[in-house]
Amino acid sequence: MSHPLSTRLVLWYARHQRQLPWRKTRDPYHIWVAEIMLQQTQVETVIPYYERWLKRFPTVARLASAPLAEVLTNWEGLGYYARARNLHQAAQIVVEQWGGQVPRTLADLRTLPGIGTYTAGAIASIAFGLDAAALDGNLKRVLARLFDVRQDVKSAEGEKALRRLAESLVPPGQAGEYNQALMDLGATICTPRTPRCEACPVQSLCRAYRLGVQLERPVSRRRAPIPHRQAAAGVIRKNGRILLVQRPSEQLLGGLWAFPQAPRRARESFAAGLARAAREELGLGIAVLSEIHRQAQTFSHFRLTLHVFECRWQNGKASGANCRWVRISALDDYPMGKADRQIARRLRAP
Ligand code: SF4
């Protein structure tokens, strides 16, 4: 029998669910794409990417056979590019090992790159109707409030308590609706800073509301402030072309193209660091001219300020497979991270 909370949530979802493009389908590949895009990214941002993606890669097989550069180009702007690389690799595994059919069990889904416990639960419950919970940060917040969970939700014991709760509440045969109801409740009513308890369909069952502690739940360790790094980037020009380098696939923004960068070393100016890195890493002699732009970007675990310098090639080849001399008009053909794309746009501006 279902828990009264699940019953009420599923009824509320039937009447008030958000109309989202991935809710019009049971195609497991489409639901998988949406779930990967929604990790770390807001719904409104995801919608146009999701729709474009499925026009370009409507099936697992089409995605698997596409070159990585095209996959990254279609992901450009969504950030966290490991998601795109994993999705591409996982699509190839699905084609090679599963005959193009997305695997149907939690254990099999979790063998695919980029699919963790949450995403496996979401795909299994929404696409295949399995009785699986899907517990992400939003759902943890909602459950911590509903059941007044006092453990730190980021601790192992807090995580375990919430998982037990989430699993015990799954209504048999309705896990997809239940998980999505919790997602919608967390996104539209039980929001992080200002929960709208007056509009909440499960207010009478909420322990944190009853105790007046909803703003104190979930309990969470204070996050340490993220470090601020500084680096130089060079717009190195040679005969009307500009040098781009492709980032190694195992690194941050792997597979994307970038203007050559040099992290700042102690007692070294940005300009000197850039000239040194060009010499040591690319075998190039360059003249570093003036700083033309400063670009700030926030990643999940650090902030970066990029000091962008105009540079002139002097000698050397930089001819490796990961180096290209590119005309300004062709910069759009190369998938880039946000900061590099901003620099490229400035170069193209009249
Ligand atoms: Fe969240 Fe308030 Fe609803 Fe409790 S009553 S689940 S705190 S919105």
| pLDDT single digits (tens) 105-118 | 999 999 999 999 99
Cβ–Cβ < 8 Å for 175, 125? yes
Whether 190 is in the pocket of ligand 1, judged by its Cβ within 6 Å, is: yes
Among residues 80, 79, 77, 84, the alpha carbon closest in space to that of 344 is found at 77
pLDDT at 142 (0 to 100)? 96
Give the CA count within 13 Å in the CB-facing half-sphere of 137.
Answer: 8
Distance, CA 135 to ligand 1 centroid (Å)? Answer: 17
Whether 200 is in the pocket of ligand 1, judged by its Cβ within 6 Å, is: yes
Q: Give the range among 48-57, 59-68, 220-229, 266-275 with minimum mean pLDDT.
A: 220-229
Cα angle, residue 102 at apex, residues 100 and 103 outer, rounded to 5°: 120
Region of 291 (left: φ > 0; alpha: ψ -120 to 50; beta: rest) is beta
Interval 74-123: pLDDT, tens: 999 998 899 999 999 999 999 999 999 999 999 999 999 999 999 999 99
The winner for highest mean pLDDT among 92-106, 211-225, 285-299, 323-337 is: 92-106
Of the pLDDT bands very low, low, confident and very high (cuts 50, 70, 90), residue 350 is low
Q: Which domains does the chain have, with CATH numbers?
A: 4-216 (1.10.340.30), 228-348 (3.90.79.10)
pLDDT at 78 (0 to 100)? 92
**Whether pLDDT at 289 is above 90:** yes
Distance, CA 196 to ligand 1 centroid (Å)? Answer: 7
Interval 38-88: pLDDT, tens: 998 999 999 999 999 999 999 999 999 999 999 999 999 998 899 999 999
**Whether pLDDT at 202 is above 90:** yes
Whether 197 is in the pocket of ligand 1, judged by its Cβ within 6 Å, is: yes
